[in-house]
Structure 1
Amino acid sequence: MEGLARIILRDGRVAELREARDTPEDRRMLHELFRHASADDLYFRFFHMVKEVSDRDIDQMIRIDGQGKSLICVSQDQILGIGHYIMTDGASAEVAFFVDDRVQGRGLGTLLLEHLAQIAWRRGLKQFEAYVLSDNRRMLRVFQDSGYEIHEQHESGVIHLVLPLQQTERTRALQETREKLATAASLRPFFEPAVVAIVGASRDSHRLGHLLLRHVLEGSYNGVVYPVNSSAKAVLGVRAYPSVQAVPDAVDLVVIVVARDQVQSVVQDCIIAGVKAVLITSAGFSDLDANGAALEQDITADLRRHGIRLVGPNSLGLLNAHPEHPLNASFAPALPPAGSVAIASQSGALGIAILDYAARMGVGVSSFASTGNKADVSSNDLLQYWEDDPATAMILLYLESFGNPRKFSRIARRLTQRKPILAVKSARTVHTSVPTESGLQPVDNEVAVQALFQQSGIIRADTLQELFDIAALLGTMPLPDGNRVVVITNAAGAAVITVDALGAVGLTLAEPPVDLGVDALGQRYYEEVARALRQSDVDAIIVLFIPVGISEAQGVSDAIRQAVEEQGLSKPVLANFLMMGHGPIDYIESPTFRIPVYPFPELAVRALGQVARYAEYRRQPMGRLPDLEHIHVDEARTLVQQWQSPDEAVWTGPVRASQVLDMVGLRSQLALTEEDQGFCRLRIRCHMDPLFGPILTATPVDQENISRSRLIPLTDRDAEVFAQAWLRGQKGAPFCKKVLSELFLRVSRLIDEVPEITELEIDEAWVCHADTKIVSANVLLERRTL
């Protein structure tokens, strides 16, 4: 982090974290920080009584040059805290903090430590040291809560702390939990505001501001809403005010519906009024041109400096369908039926269409947000808000691009263990960029996108229709325990289509399709569905029905419903009534369940196939970064740092590359024996994608047109699934899987924990059931920096 970073405190307050600068403004704010500090806080920081912090003290904090780093947290033109480290030798640095007592206990000290530790580790430092007075319990708590392993030594009332900077699963988990809770708190004013102001609310019924105010008023909102209009006394019978500052209540959420050129002045009005959240529907920013992008950056920076979160610009709004907090601050004409599905859409227009389709399909919604240009609030933030939201059980995403895919992956891995995430990711074309509602967007690396979704358990739909086909099944049925399916039909032709579709998505028949013929259909469907529900070797049931007479459809529906009511819903049941045509999914309704009825059998099978893969992902233990023998990453990093050039990136060559690989347990010299004939030969490459980070790609030596990729770091589950895919059908596969998994894990550890390596090429790796042999390799090292 060399520039600005947004941080969120435990109470949801937003601030910016940046380097301290030797400028009159930063010096003034630092003097103010210490001037308002208590005598005890100053004593704990400087180890002696201090009446006033001198310019010399300030110099020592910000004039660090290349010997360390100093970060300040700024909000509303005030410094809330400062943290810095100064190198004591090539591997260690002393770290110190000071936090305004008005924000102590909100996690700022821990955030400063986390960011400083990441910067220091990236620059090659291995540990922090700190000296803390034994009475300074708050500062000791900061270090203890960080998750880093701490070594303490007590010295005459002073505690000497040593913190190794290498992250562990514990430090990652604690950091992610802190971030999740803080992010959720910062988004609450959007979804549960007590007071809303609509800037641009108009008396003209054709204007968007009029429409949005009407939607809020007609959406059963139980808070207070204020129209803001400089020339009207009232809008839709509600008293209007000329500015946000003039509104008599403290405003939680401001929705801005004005022309682009007026937005910046409205934002300044919001800042002065001290609002908590801003939603900008106006377009013409980064979605239009460079001038709009610059204006968007200025507005976002202004809001961030004052701790205000932003949805948009170019957003079509948000809504909350929960009965306790109903809000329709969007251009959707009405609140959808309340339910458990949360929806986020980068495209506003598509998002409104998705809401409409959800209502027509009977999919209940918990909340919805159109992220627009994602200047601040992104899909990552929304996922963290919905992760612990009790009203949300499933999440649907329409994505055009990623902002921080590595963070997206970490969040999604946690979430998909409990709540399914369904996504449509557009912009797969080979063009450099494609037009979207958010402007001309670069096309993400499709290989990396696919790897991200596979590794994080996200269900990827190719179309919006498939998205809802899957959602209908997930929202009404239990997950299958396996891939064995019973097909019950009254038409052989429909069964043939279904069986072909089952094979295409990796599902298998538990038994030959049951053809009921044309007689006594209601009773026959009841008997066969009930029988299949009782069978332990059946994981899902697909019921096909082609009507012979108009009146029979209701009888068949009743028979299926009765069988499920009597036997219990222990496995998914889905149906296709072919006479439905092209309409949306229907349901066989019961007070306790709903069986989705698809218009075509292929749609039912495709949805079941996606759900079965997700269920298999859920059954596996959540992946972790395992401990492996013969891993010496610190030594490998020390070695490559010696080889770096200050002038340019350099390739190490095969000899040095083999030394580095040997330090993570990958040997270049190993003779294969006669017992090791069932091996596979792979070419492995790791490279740095500018957006997705490091990517591992494996290619068979004898099939260079076939490659598979995974994002680094790999968990043990990632590596096992990856290895299994490579070895499927090969001789000796069961014996080689563990070795190949370890190969991928060791390469991943090297690339993830030695950031000086920007590219790794293994020309040939021989993998057998006993070991791995690296035939030849090369490593690219980034240019050495301070």
Structure 2
Amino acid sequence: MVEEDQDRDHRYPVHWEADVVLRDGGTAHVRPIRTADGPALQQFHVGQSERSTYFRFFAPLARLPERDLARFTHVDHVDRVALVAVTGHGDHERIIAVARYDRVEGRTAEAAFNVADDHHGRGLGSVLLEHLAAAARERGIRRFTAEVLPQNAQMLGIFREAGYEVTQHLDDGIVTVTFGLDPTERSLAVMADREHRAEARSVHTLLSPRAVLVVSDDHGAPLAEAVLASLTATDPAPRPEVHHVGPAQAPPSVRTWPRTADVPPVDLLVLAVRSTHARTVLQDPAATARAVVVLSDGFAETGTDGLTRQRDLVRTAHAAGMRLLGPGSFGFLRRTTDTTTVNATLTAHLPPDGGTALFCQSAPLGVGMLESARRRRLGVSTFVSSGNRADVSGNDLMQFWTEDPRTDVVALYLESIGNPRKFTRVARRLAAAKPVVVLTAGRSGHVVPAGHAIRRTRAPRQALDEIMRQSGVLRVDTPHQLLDVTQLLAHQPLPRGRRVAVVASSEALTALVAEAASSAGLTVTRRTTIPQETPTGTTDDLDTALAEVYAAQDCDSVVVVHVPVLGDPDPTTTACIAQRAAISDRTTVACVTGLHGVTEGLTAAAPDGRPHTVPAYATPEDGVLALAAASRYAAWRATDRGAPLAPTGVDRTRARALVEAMTPPAGEVRRLEEHHTRELLACYGVHVWQSRAVRTTPEAVAAAHEVGWPVALKCAAEHLRHRIDLGGVRLDVATPDELTDDLQEMRDRLIGLGVPDPTFEVQKMAPGGVACVVRTAEDPRFGPVVSFGLAGDAIDLLGDVAYAVAPLTDVDVSEMIRTVRAGPRLFGYRGLPPVDVPALEDVLARVATMAEDLPALHNLELHPVVASEGGANVLAARIELAEAGRADGPRRALV
């Protein structure tokens, strides 16, 4: 609940509150300090060692004087800000760290930090620095200073390692540290790396319990009985110690306790109780653990009250230092390198052990995914169902799987993506090391299943496609394809290219498979048909043909299709395929009657002695689609993804000051005046050609003399200013007489089109070239969506637009310009000279950088940008500002 000072002071920044994951995988809550925090702050201070107190106040101080206590807890959240990290809830809440700043002058503030002695080493100092810096930037502060004793090496290390450009000097026995707060490439990389390690550790904690407590009630007894059976069904393999509280019938190996207070310490809680009772269980001080799985439903999917219960449950879990999986989870499966199996799912029927990690959200999807993997005999290292994804999400699991030695390939079935920007960042890091296959609910990403509390979006349908492309993940269309692609990546080497050889048991099959391969973007370099005369003859001919195919250097992968007309396939035939593939380094897929998934018949020993399996597909087309996906991923892995954009001549400080001064109140959108638009764009090196607004003929002629002949005459009406076909534009006007005639003709034409008192713009003619449009829009879910297209029918009628989600690299920018279908016009089309594409890329890069830097940039449009042989000229621009709360901002938080 918000305390009395929040009710009185409307400036209390509720949005600064956040749950965070710490270095050891535990959680804490960060919030602004409250006036009611006096006793808790005094308790925090008294609990500190004499050394820690001296480091903070440069003097021994057994207790905080009442005057200082009041000053520390009464802040204005603008010039004086204090944040606290707390654990526990209600009467059990405890302050474990404090960070504060006091504005010294202008844009500079003095910062101070203090971390509880028993919480040192958990990364609280670096987390609070990120959050305090983010709050300071919001209040217009751009620089921190801090006074630190030279002996306080830990705090000095926090400042140095944060990634900011730090200066320090020693004066009178005190080190004064100074650093700017604008995020740098290094500071963002440091934050991302710390986030990665903390979240991976928290997931490892969840998936690796040594002791588990299952809590049930009458409502959840069936769920509890199912998960208890699963947890105890892994004998004789090592498994966790299992306890139970509640009415469910537990197996004999599980000890049932009358209450949670009697249970020995455990690492994992599994709740199978009514939604109205779940939070009560977590609030019990005896129900302590490192993580919790909630199998029950009845939360956000039921409506507003359920969403409130879900948020309260997550907040309670985080306050107790726990990550939460669910609600509505099917549970998780984890197999580790020491052969320990933790099966905390609702089924005892599992796929075999292997190197594939599976993730889904709702429980029904989990049932289908596990059963499909079991039927295919696809080996699984980890399976996780996040349910409503209230806390632990696919992003968290990807952080863990990046370093997990048991996982070779990751398959995700995502009903929704709550934080697409973070997904892009985390998935790209994972995909650089391991293949990632993704199925989404719907192509657009606009589907919001019941129970998923995510931000709304205005992004176009193509934005999610771009998210996937930037991330390097393989997107598929069906659950069937998800496992088709995954089984290939799990059992075969990546193709070295797109060249494919087809070996089939009939001419018709050979032709059909070759056509399917070509349609999927592969290049068929070899076709071989093996006639079916006798089983022995077929095997001998197949062995000879495969030996020749694998010996050749004209293919990167092989598709083998064997469909006998009479009877079942001869085992010697499948053994031949497996043996030839095992001694080759070529990617191979097979379609053999009666075989599907990972089979013994298509498994043989590789030269190093390890089993090598050719995955089997129900149809040749399925195998070809999987092979094409693997080829795309291999190409992505082999391609330079470029460097982060770093345009020269950018004045971020000036730009942010302008935006802060002009951003309207929350809920409003403000369109900037033309001179403000020019000024803001100039901060990023984008210069808009001057134009003059006119109404009369004398004004137009005078403006033309001022800007220089020849000129363009444009209607100022928004819907007509680019419409030559409707008479809204006249180009290459060379003389005053011509301008007078054109203006009168345009006036008459526009009045006839319903513009009673038209106004005009006069602008110097730009060099001839190709007109383009560059736009950005800040989306509540996706963040800054950048788009590029060629002006006119290509955009307006055909929707020929390339999208990307910032931040971008130079390669991303280059690909945007080259992927629009009308792009050939930029590179010399039908005898026209090519335009200055690097100059066009520079404009797009500057706009993308601007969009990434300024979340309040609600909409920006450069239309047209005329790309000519000698440059790219921005002839008109429009900017709208609005307050924005970007989901993936420059601070670590669980969102």
Q: TM-score, normalised by structure 1?
A: 0.91
Shift, 1:669, TM fit: 4.1
Q: Where does residue 48 of structure 1 map in the other structure?
A: 59
- The secondary structure found in structure 1 opposite 2:299 is coil
Q: How far apart in 2 are the matches of 1:42 and 1:665?
A: 49
Q: How far apart in 2 are the matches of 1:443 and 1:427?
A: 15
Matching of residues 74-93 of structure 1 within 5 Å: 74-76=86-88, 77-93=93-109
Aligned counterpart in structure 2 of residue 182 of structure 1, from 198, 209, 225 = 198
Q: How far apart in 2 are the matches of 1:563 and 1:769?
A: 55
Is 1:659–2:683 an aligned residue pair?
no
Q: Where does residue 125 of structure 1 map in the other structure?
A: 141
Q: How far apart in 2 are the matches of 1:515 and 1:272?
A: 70
- The secondary structure found in structure 2 opposite 1:615 is helix
Shift, 1:97, TM fit: 0.7
Q: Where does residue 352 of structure 2 map in the other structure?
A: 337
Shift, 1:351, TM fit: 0.9
Q: How far apart in 1 are the matches of 2:410 and 2:24?
A: 25
Aligned counterpart in structure 2 of residue 700 of structure 1, from 778, 790, 797 = 790
Is 1:741–2:841 an aligned residue pair?
yes
Q: How far apart in 2 are the matches of 1:526 and 1:456?
A: 40
Is 1:19–2:32 an aligned residue pair?
yes
Letter in 2 for 1:8: V
Letter in 1 for 2:324: L
Alpha carbons 1:201, 1:210 under 8 Å: kept: no
Matching of residues 573-592 of structure 1 within 5 Å: 573-577=588-592, 579-580=593-594, 588-591=602-605, 592=611
Q: Larger relative CO (CA 8 A, sep 6+): 1 or 2?
A: 2
Matching of residues 469-488 of structure 1 within 5 Å: 469-488=484-503
- The secondary structure found in structure 2 opposite 1:142 is helix
Deviates more, 1:356-365 or 1:179-188: 179-188
Letter in 2 for 1:732: F
Is 1:779–2:890 an aligned residue pair?
no
Is 1:545–2:639 an aligned residue pair?
no
Q: Where does residue 864 of structure 2 map in the other structure?
A: 764
Aligned counterpart in structure 1 of residue 612 of structure 2, from 584, 593, 601 = 593
Is 1:224–2:241 an aligned residue pair?
yes
Aligned counterpart in structure 2 of residue 508 of structure 1, from 523, 531, 544 = 523
Matching of residues 369-518 of structure 1 within 5 Å: 369-428=384-443, 435-436=449-450, 445=459, 446-511=461-526, 513-518=527-532
Aligned counterpart in structure 2 of residue 711 of structure 1, from 805, 818, 831 = 805
CA gap 1:331/1:679 in 2 versus in 1, 3 angstroms:
farther
Q: Where does residue 312 of structure 1 map in the other structure?
A: 326
Q: How far apart in 1 are the matches of 2:403 and 2:589?
A: 29
Q: Where does residue 19 of structure 2 map in the other structure?
A: 6
Shift, 1:664, TM fit: 2.2
Shift, 1:678, TM fit: 10
Q: How far apart in 2 are the matches of 1:442 and 1:636?
A: 28
Q: How far apart in 2 are the matches of 1:590 and 1:634?
A: 63
- The secondary structure found in structure 1 opposite 2:83 is strand
Alpha carbons 2:111, 2:146 under 8 Å: kept: yes
Q: How far apart in 2 are the matches of 1:769 and 1:610?
A: 38
CA gap 1:784/1:553 in 2 versus in 1, 3 angstroms:
closer
Alpha carbons 2:463, 2:785 under 8 Å: kept: yes
CA gap 1:494/1:362 in 2 versus in 1, 3 angstroms:
same
Q: Where does residue 11 of structure 2 map in the other structure?
A: none
Shift, 1:72, TM fit: 0.4
Shift, 1:325, TM fit: 2.3
Alpha carbons 2:220, 2:274 under 8 Å: kept: no
Q: Where does residue 239 of structure 1 map in the other structure?
A: 255
Q: How far apart in 2 are the matches of 1:742 and 1:287?
A: 46
Q: Where does residue 721 of structure 1 map in the other structure?
A: 815
Alpha carbons 2:215, 2:269 under 8 Å: kept: yes
Shift, 1:536, TM fit: 3.4
Q: Where does residue 775 of structure 2 map in the other structure?
A: 685
Shift, 1:730, TM fit: 4.1
Letter in 1 for 2:94: Q
- The secondary structure found in structure 2 opposite 1:272 is coil
Aligned counterpart in structure 1 of residue 645 of structure 2, from 623, 626, 641 = 626
What root-mean-square deviation, in Å, do the aligned CA atoms of Structure 1 and Structure 2 show?
3.0
Letter in 2 for 1:148: Y
Shift, 1:458, TM fit: 1.3
Shift, 1:437, TM fit: 6.8
* Alignment gaps of 5+ in structure 2: 1-13, 606-610, 691-709, 712-765, 829-833, 886-895
Q: How far apart in 2 are the matches of 1:504 and 1:784?
A: 43
Point out 4+ residue stretches in structure 1 off by more than 6 angstroms.
Answer: 439-444
Is 1:33–2:133 an aligned residue pair?
no
Is 1:62–2:152 an aligned residue pair?
no
Shift, 1:433, TM fit: 5.9
CA gap 1:442/1:555 in 2 versus in 1, 3 angstroms:
farther
Shift, 1:197, TM fit: 1.2
Q: How far apart in 2 are the matches of 1:32 and 1:777?
A: 57
- The secondary structure found in structure 1 opposite 2:300 is coil
Q: Where does residue 300 of structure 2 map in the other structure?
A: 286
- The secondary structure found in structure 2 opposite 1:131 is strand
Q: Where does residue 730 of structure 2 map in the other structure?
A: none
Alpha carbons 2:229, 2:251 under 8 Å: kept: no
Shift, 1:238, TM fit: 3.4
Task: After superposition, give the CA deviation of every residue in 1:540-596 in whole Å (9 maximum; x if it has no partner).
Answer: 11122332443664343233233334xx3322111223x349x65756111231112
Q: Where does residue 638 of structure 1 map in the other structure?
A: 657
Letter in 2 for 1:106: R
Aligned counterpart in structure 1 of residue 291 of structure 2, from 268, 277, 283 = 277
Alpha carbons 1:420, 1:458 under 8 Å: kept: yes
Shift, 1:162, TM fit: 1.4
Alpha carbons 2:458, 2:779 under 8 Å: kept: no
CA gap 1:312/1:731 in 2 versus in 1, 3 angstroms:
closer
Q: Where does residue 605 of structure 1 map in the other structure?
A: 624
* Alignment gaps of 5+ in structure 1: none
Q: Where does residue 85 of structure 2 map in the other structure?
A: 73
Aligned counterpart in structure 1 of residue 117 of structure 2, from 101, 106, 111 = 101
Task: After superposition, give the CA deviation of every residue in 1:303-357 in whole Å (9 maximum; x if it has no partner).
Answer: 2212122111111111113353201111122332111111111111111221111
Task: After superposition, give the CA deviation of every residue in 1:634-680 in whole Å (9 maximum; x if it has no partner).
Answer: 333334444445695422244432333333233334999xxx99964
Shift, 1:95, TM fit: 1.2
Is 1:755–2:755 an aligned residue pair?
no
Letter in 2 for 1:599: A
Deviates more, 1:308-317 or 1:698-707: 698-707
Tell me the matched-pair count: 770
Letter in 2 for 1:133: L
Q: How far apart in 1 are the matches of 2:344 and 2:871?
A: 60
- The secondary structure found in structure 2 opposite 1:590 is strand
- The secondary structure found in structure 2 opposite 1:7 is strand
Task: After superposition, give the CA deviation of every residue in 1:726-746 in whole Å (9 maximum; x if it has no partner).
Answer: 375445279755444333321
Deviates more, 1:215-224 or 1:640-649: 640-649
Alpha carbons 1:144, 1:150 under 8 Å: kept: yes
Alpha carbons 2:415, 2:449 under 8 Å: kept: no
Shift, 1:762, TM fit: 1.2
Task: After superposition, give the CA deviation of every residue in 1:449-488 in whole Å (9 maximum; x if it has no partner).
Answer: 2221111111111100000110111011111122122222
Q: How far apart in 2 are the matches of 1:339 and 1:631?
A: 50
Letter in 2 for 1:661: L
Is 1:171–2:190 an aligned residue pair?
no
Question: Percent of counterpart pairs with the same letter?
Answer: 30
Q: How far apart in 1 are the matches of 2:826 and 2:17?
A: 53
Alpha carbons 1:93, 1:128 under 8 Å: kept: yes
Q: Where does residue 134 of structure 1 map in the other structure?
A: 150
Alpha carbons 2:532, 2:564 under 8 Å: kept: no
Letter in 2 for 1:71: L
CA gap 1:745/1:141 in 2 versus in 1, 3 angstroms:
same
Shift, 1:231, TM fit: 9.0
Bigger radius of gyration among the two: 2
